[in-house]
Amino acid sequence: MGQSISCDLCGRNGEEQYCKTDSSVCLCSNCLKHTEASNEKIKECVERWLLGNVI
Ligand SMILES: [Zn+2]
């Protein structure tokens, strides 16, 4: 349980996922890069949106 982790942004799985322990959001390397490249405001919005979707 909890072994099959999929990207919270694009839904891809089977690849390395990077979980942000501070926000409990898991992103693949692509999406992580994307969010990291974005400024903090966008990053926050994305994480909020993801968390809102999960719940
Ligand atoms: Zn992704």
> For residues 5 and 11, is the Cβ–Cβ distance under 8 A?
no
What's the gap in Å between 35 CA and the centre of ligand 1? 10
> For residues 5 and 13, is the Cβ–Cβ distance under 8 A?
yes
Q: Taking the domains of the chain in order of start, what are their residue ranges? A: 1-55
Residue found by looking up tokens 């690849």 in the block: 15
Arithmetic mean of pLDDT, 2-28: 71
Q: Does pTM top 0.75 for this prediction? A: no
Burial (0-12, 13-18, 19+ Cβ within 10 Å), 6: middle
- Per-chain mean pLDDT for the chain: 73
User: Strand (E) positions, the chain?
Assistant: 17-20, 25-28
- Greater pLDDT, 23 or 47: 47
- Greater pLDDT, 18 or 50: 50
Residues with CB under 5 Å of ion ligand 1 are 7, 9-10, 28, 31
